[in-house]
Every structure is written in structure tokens, then in C-alpha cells.
Amino acid sequence: MNDDLKRNIILDHYYNPLHKGLVNDDSYIKVNVNNESCIDNIDLMVKIEDNVISDIRFDGEACAISTSATSIMIKMLLGKTIEETLQILKEYEKMINEEIYNADIIDEAIVYNDIYKQPNRKKCALLPWRGLKKVLKEK
Amino acid sequence: MNVRNDFPMLKQNIIYFDNGATTFKPYSVINAIVDYYSNYTANAHRGDYDNSLKVDEKYEGTRENVCQFINASNTKEIIFTSGATDSLNMIVNGFFKYNLKSGDEILITRSEHASLVLPWFELAEQLGCIIKYINLNEDLKVTMDNVKASVTNKTKVIALAHTTNVVGDIRPIKAITQYAHQQGIYVVVDGAQSVPHIKVDVQDLDVDFLTFSGHKMLGPTGIGVLYGKEFLLKKLKPHNVGGGMNVDFTSLKEFSYRELPHRLEAGTPNIAGVIGLGAAIDYINKVGIDNITKHEQMLKQYAVQKLNSLPNIEVYNPNTKAGIIAFNVKGVFSQDTAVYLNKYNVCVRAGNHCAKMLSEDINVSSTCRISFYLYNTTEEIDYLVSLLDNKDILRESL
């Protein structure tokens, strides 16, 4: 995927993020994640039914990378089992950290495959996934 | 201003506009620190040998230097700390903790830095004091009318920055102290963003306490100053006790402390830091603080004018004096702008700049901040403006 296409996808998710806006529903697990060294701040709500992620909502204020990464994460994880989610998470983290990863299950998140070239952006790409880990711990 | 060759960091291919966070150091400061570590290392206030005496001379010489720089009435009023944060915590927890009571009001503003806000929040919680805010006017400035409107017969202290770190407004400190002292109100001023940039005369301003940091004025990190009027500092309880600040102690738990300023400097001090700060003040004196002020104000006016000519830029504080500009590229999150500029080796800060309550007044949660110092140039501003004159900043930040 060339850089131009990657940028298009990132901007598309930034301007029109999926599932933005929280809902008032106690059946969701709700967490907040922020990057201490910058200003990204995201609330994440995840609904898990029968071991499957049935819904994710988010809100907050964050840069283009964090916001788009959240939207892309939501798109990827809806309908996935916890086991599948953990597998995707593992491969995603490997990609961000410039390790060998399985591109087949990374899907659209492949747009961040060279984010390691901008170390100051890595934490942005990881932010929603950190939130997801928190959710899975609270489950 | 012909100073750029004095700063090794300027040999790198970067444009540094984050002087509100910290500043570059001239060779004279770096060399002074290296000289201490290489040629006359010894502890302070201790020995009878030559190097130890030389350390004392340099250490106490810097106290004298600081004293003159801010025109304190004597060196007992100059306490070395680890920085403005340390100084502010000492003032709040060593003095006000014992001089305020439940129901007393502490007056601050919403544009203050966390280092000034949080010690008061903690103290207010402990003692049952009330935090009140002086309203800012439409230019985000503190006016005497608003100060007077906020003072009640319960106000015991007004605490605020001399120059704020996001808005860059220079507060009317002299008028504030004059008014406050008539009502028996103490005035605590954080000079972290003023002392490096404008002439600060503590006697003229008549502040009760002033704090600042060395690293924001060409000095090293980890060194700062607490200024207090002598009669107030005498009542300030040391937050650290230990070596260097006591006269004597016995096994019967009898003990006595030394006089100011040593009473408030327990333990081996940051000797290299003090010596570096001394060299920084020498450097500023050589250039002339008034020349620095003029240069920065020129840069500010120049930059605001250029930035205002760009339709995609919003400047939040065009009408304040200090060399600080808070801005955003319309439609672009501040951090994305900073990342974009970083691609061209231009260093600016994005965020809320530790002034987290300011968003309540400017209706924007985060900004990019440019903050100038003596080594910045109009050519650097031209380059910045050329980079910001771009419709695709967000896209190119990715």
C-alpha cells in the first residue's frame, strides 16, 4: 500500500470515525486511556456478549493517528471472539514495534506499518489498544 | 542579536521555539559546570582546603549574583532550590500551611501552571481553605478591576505567575502588591517565565515571595531560586532538615538550626547547578536583560503579524507582550501540527502546557505554543510561516 493511500485511509477514519459517542449503558465495560506525554485522551466502551465483542464506542480528544487507530480498531474487532482479539492485538503490537508480524490478520491497520519511523507517533497508534487491554483485564 | 555562536545546540539543524519549556545553554554555562567537575570539585561550606574555599566563593558568589539580578535587599533572601516547583511547594507547605486557616481564601487564576495550582489545592484540602479565581478579561489578562472584584475580607494570599506560560501576559504585579498589602494580603509570584526575559526587581514589585528556575534562563536543570522577604523566610519551616542547615544537636534531642539562607538548604546542594546558574546570569547581564526583552517583543510582533496574515492560522494571544504565541492551524489537532513541524526540524510544543484550567477561558483544549528567546531570529519565523502556509498540514503530518 503506498503512502498516499495510507494517508487517505487514516484521514477518512479521522474525519468520519466509526462509533464515536458514548452510550449510557451499564452492560459496557468503560475505560479511559491517555498518553501522559501528550494530550490524547480517549474513553472507550466495550460490550462483550458470549465471548464476542458485540459493540465498541469511543469518545475523546486525540490526534489524527490516535483517533483513526481507534476507529480502525473498532472496525476490525466487531464480532471477533476474545481469542481472535488477543491474536490481532499481539500482531498489531508486533507491527508497531517493528517486529515480524502476520500481515494477514492486520487488515486495514496495515496503514500504520511504518509508524515506527516516527517514534513520537507510536504511542498514538497504540493508545486505543492499550484501552482494549484494560477492558479485557476488567472483564 | 549576535549570540548564536555562543550556543552549541544551535549548530544542529533545528529551529527551537520551545523556550518556555527549557532553553539552550551557552558555552560559558557548560564550561563553568565542566570546570567545577574537572578542576575544583569539593563540597560547599565544609573544608579548609583551597578547592573547598573556591567552591564556597563560587556558590555564595552566585547568591550575590542572583541577589543583584532581581534586586533583593540582601543575600539571606535568596534560597537555592531544585526549581520553581520546589520553591512554590516550600512556600505553600513551609509558610502558608502555618499561616492560613479554615475558611481563608486563596486567590489564583485559571491560566496558572500546575506547579502553582496544585500545592494550593492540596493545602486548601488539608486546611479547609477556599480557592478563588480572578477572572481574566477578553485578552486573557489580569486587570486590577478584576483583582479588586475578587478580593474579600477572607482573602489571605494572591498567587499568580508574573508572565503566564501559555498566554504570555505580563501581570501588573506592582499594582497588585500595592493593593493586596493594604488589605494585609500576601502576594506570591512565580517568575519562571518572567525572570529570564524581563527586568524583575523584587523590591520595586514588593512581592512577598518570588520563584524561578535556572534552566529556563540559560542555566542547568535542577536549580532554581526561592526569593522571600527576610522576615517571611525567617518564619518558613524547612521541608528538609539535615546536614549543612543545623548548628548543633545532642542525644537529648536538643537542636538548633542555622540562620538564613542556609537553614533552608539542607544537604549537599546542587553546587554545579548553582555555579551554572551564576554563569547564566553573567551571560544575560553581558547581553543585557533589556535588550533581550526588546528582541523578544520584536519577534512576537513580527510573528503575530505574519501568522495573522495566514487564513488557516488562529492566534489566541495576539495582544500580550511576552514572546509567547499560542495558536492552532484551523481544523488540525495541535499535536498533529507539532508533528508536522517536527518533520522540518522546527520544535514547538503542543498541548495544554500544564495550564489545564485555561481551556475554560479560551474554549479550546489544546494549542501549539511558540516561545522565543534571545537567539531566535526573524528568518526562523519566516521559515515557520512558510511551513504553516500550507493547506495540507494534517495530511503531511501523517
Domain coordinates of chain A in residue numbers?
Answer: 3-138
Residues with Cβ < 8 Å from B340, sequence gap 6 or more?
A: B332, B387, B393, B394, B396, B397
Largest Cα span, chain A: 42
Tell whether the model's pLDDT for residue A38 goes beyond 70: no
Tell whether the model's pLDDT for residue B165 goes beyond 80: yes
Q: Is A7 in Cβ contact with B398 (below 8 Å)?
A: yes
- DSSP symbol at B142: -
Helix (H, G, I), strand (E, B) or coil at B77: helix
Report the C-alpha gap between B162 and B152 in whole angstroms.
22
- What is the structure's pLDDT at B250? 86
Contact yes or no for B170/B164 (Cβ under 8 A)? no
Report the C-alpha gap between B333 and B366 in whole angstroms.
8
Angle between helices B289-308 and B378-388 (to 10 degrees): 20
Contact yes or no for B32/B279 (Cβ under 8 A)? yes
Contact yes or no for B274/B64 (Cβ under 8 A)? no
Query: Which residues of A make CB contacts under 8 Å with B?
Result: 6-7, 10-11, 14, 38-40, 61-65, 118, 120-121, 124
- Which amino acid does the sequence have at A52? V
How far does the CA of residue B394 sit from the closest CA of chain A (Å)? Answer: 8
Which of A63, A118, A121 is nearest residue B333 as measured by Cβ atoms? A63
Which of B342, B351, B398 is nearest residue A64 as measured by Cβ atoms? B398
How far does the CA of residue A50 sit from the closest CA of chain B (Å)? Answer: 38
Which stretches does DSSP call E strand in chain A? 29-34, 41-49, 52-61
Tell whether the model's pLDDT for residue B238 goes beyond 70: yes
Instruction: Report the b/e string of A6-42 with b at 16+ CB within 10 A.
Output: bbebbeebbeebebeeeeeeeebbbbebbbeebbbbb
If you measure CA to CA, which chain B residue comes closest to A4?
B395
**Residue closest to B126 by CA, chosen among B101, B108, B159:** B101
> Can you tell me which residue has the cell 511504518?
A114
Burial zone of A61 (CB within 10 Å; 0-12 exposed, 13-18 middle, 19+ buried): middle
Q: What is the pLDDT of residues B4-35, one digit of tens each?
A: 999 999 999 899 999 999 999 999 999 999 99
Percent of chain B with pLDDT over 90: 85
Q: What is the CATH number of domain A3-138?
A: 3.90.1010.10
Residue B27, number of CB atoms within 10 A of its CB: 14
Count of alpha carbons within 13 angstroms of residue A96, beta-carbon side: 22
Instruction: Report the b/e string of B261-298 with b at 16+ CB within 10 A.
Output: bbbbbbeebbbbbbbbbbbbbbbbeebebeebbebbbe
CA dihedral B83, B86, B88, B89 (to 10 degrees): 170
Domains B28-286 and B289-397 share a fold: no
Total CB pairs under 8 A between chain A and B:
39
H helix or E strand, kind and range, residue B361: helix B359-362
Tell whether the model's pLDDT for residue A50 goes beyond 80: yes
Query: Which residues of B make CB contacts under 8 Å with A?
Result: 333-336, 339, 342, 350-352, 365-366, 394-395, 397-398
Q: What is the CATH number of domain B289-397?
A: 3.90.1150.10
- Assign B351 a pLDDT band (cuts: 50, 70, 90): confident
Helix (H, G, I), strand (E, B) or coil at B336: helix
Burial zone of B66 (CB within 10 Å; 0-12 exposed, 13-18 middle, 19+ buried): buried
Cis peptide before B261 (omega within 30 of 0): yes
Residue B82, number of CB atoms within 10 A of its CB: 18
Report the C-alpha gap between B135 and B297 in whole angstroms.
25
Report the C-alpha gap between B381 and B375 in whole angstroms.
12
**What is the fold of B28-286?**
Aspartate Aminotransferase; domain 2 (3.40.640)
Beta bridge partners of B159: B188
Residue B364, number of CB atoms within 10 A of its CB: 14
Residues with Cβ < 8 Å from B147, sequence gap 6 or more?
A: B107, B134, B158, B176, B179
Q: Is B335 in Cβ contact with A6 (below 8 Å)?
A: no
If you measure CA to CA, which chain A residue comes closest to B336?
A63
Contact yes or no for B156/B106 (Cβ under 8 A)? yes
In chain B, which residues have their Cβ closer than 8 Å to the Cβ of A6?
Answer: 398
pTM, full prediction: 0.90
Q: What is the pLDDT of residues B99-148, one digit of tens each?
A: 999 999 999 999 899 899 999 999 999 999 999 999 999 888 999 999 99
If you measure CA to CA, which chain B residue comes closest to A36?
B351
- What is the structure's pLDDT at A102? 93
ipTM of this complex prediction, to 2 decimal places: 0.83
Helix (H, G, I), strand (E, B) or coil at A20: strand
- What is the structure's pLDDT at B257? 87
- Assign B274 a pLDDT band (cuts: 50, 70, 90): very high
Domain locations along chain B: 28-286, 289-397
In chain A, which residues have their Cβ closer than 8 Å to the Cβ of B395?
Answer: 7, 11
- Assign B86 a pLDDT band (cuts: 50, 70, 90): very high
